[in-house]
Amino acid sequence: MAFMTPDSVTTAPPLLADTAIDDVDLAALAARLGTPLHAYSSSAIRQRIGGLQAALRGLDATIFFAVKANPNLAILQLMSNAGVGADIVSVGELRRSLHAGMPPERIVFSGVGKSADEIAGALTVGIHRFNVESHDELLTLQRLAKVQGVTARAAVRINPDVDAHTHAKISTGKSENKFGVSIDEARRWFAERKQLSHVQLDGLHVHIGSQILTLEPFRLALQRVAAFWQELEQAGHPISSIDVGGGLGVCYRAGEDHPVAAADYVGVIREALAGYRGRLLLEPGRYLVAEAGVLLTRVIRVKPGIERQFLVLDAAMNDLQRPSLYDAWHDIVPVADEPRPLTTYDIVGPVCETGDTFARKRVMPECVAGDLLLIKATGAYGASMASTYNSRPLAAEVLLNQGRYAVVRRRQHFEEMIAGEPPARHWETT
């Protein structure tokens, strides 16, 4: 599993980091741009997209990138250029996708809390489909589409009550989770669909969680969706699209995490939905970008403690929240090409929180102040979840491509961080 209590892990260390990614020298990059620094390999992203597209060959299928995983405009442009659409969960992600050149007809809107304004905005630009998660949302979509004089295409998000065997905070397909509706409720929606004058309810959607490393949860969820699709078709309700969601896991811990191969995953889709003639939608996020990204950081100091040594980095929980939020493992290695003696550290950041901890009891090559380290697999939910906690500016982001790099987010200046905070000079009453 990728998620575990860091204290429980004292196993063998990973190797030293490669000194280059996508033919870009990491030490030179960090020296020029500073740290902490998020870097993404465009070649690795394109390779992951190509592998999934190849596995889908012969199917009427489209990939929609889950924008929340990494909403950087350069990443979205790369996706669009590769023929990938956008799976959005907010109007901000909608605007980012459009700004990056994503055609509206390649955008689907998911999420349990779409506001009326967000729905209206998405209708105005003509997105491809809404993945609807409650009856109130369905009625809101009908009302707003009628006001605009358009017909919205919609899929009902099914909650299949399947355990994804992942971290509880990223499990979305169990009956106790807030996402989707039961098959019984969805059945009632379809029975009443002719009352929806401005919503074409003709799709099914399922997404059971994230960072899934086995095929069985996918197989079980899709079997339940397939049975429901067949039932609906027999009842005279055509289903023109089935959105199988995302959730494919990646390797956060070398030697322990064994992600599902794209061909095997698509094989499960082919088997479960055999005979389906409509369009398939896939919503990978983490799978496409996580392993393509790294967080470069320098050692500020090594601090001896009574019980352990602390390796203090200039990156912190505001730059990468996953270890603090999920007790998530990330491989952390020095960017060096010479062997070093091994030692054990608690690897921490400078933020004033005990939770600002990347790893505990981590065995790794010995480090000294000034060393450049690489935190692996940060391309998803790294910069996208970052904050300015402790008034730390947002880190820079760079896209790497075959020996070249482009800054795709400059390091935030202090003045930019406080730009929306005017002094309290103009007092008003309500």
Under 8 Å between Cβ of 221 and 259: no
The residues that are catalytic are 352
- Listed in sequence order, the residues at least 6 apart from 36 whose beta carbon sits closer than 8 Å to its beta carbon are 295, 296, 297, 313, 314, 315, 316, 319, 395
Q: What is the DSSP string of 174-220?
A: STTSSSSB-HHHHHHHHHTGGG-TTEEEEEEEE--BSSB--SHHHHH
Under 8 Å between Cβ of 309 and 271: no
Neighbours of 247 (CB within 10 A): 30
Compute the distance between CA of residue 172 and CA of residue 184 in angstroms, rounded to an integer: 18
Compute the distance between CA of residue 80 and CA of residue 71 in angstroms, rounded to an integer: 12
Please give the backbone phi and psi of residue 129, each rounded to the nearest 5 degrees, phi first. Answer: -165, 150
357-365 and 342-348 as β-strands: parallel, antiparallel, unpaired?
antiparallel
- Say if residue 154 is exposed, middle or buried (CB neighbours under 10 Å; 0-12, 13-18, 19+): buried
Compute the distance between CA of residue 249 and CA of residue 146 in angstroms, rounded to an integer: 40
Please give the backbone phi and psi of residue 144, each rounded to the nearest 5 degrees, phi first. Answer: -70, -35
Neighbours of 218 (CB within 10 A): 24
Compute the distance between CA of residue 334 and CA of residue 345 in angstroms, rounded to an integer: 13
Helix pair angle (73-81, 42-55), 10° resolution: 40
Compute the distance between CA of residue 144 and CA of residue 181 in angstroms, rounded to an integer: 22
Neighbours of 336 (CB within 10 A): 17
Compute the distance between CA of residue 276 and CA of residue 241 in angstroms, rounded to an integer: 9
Name residue 157's beta-bridge partners. Answer: 205
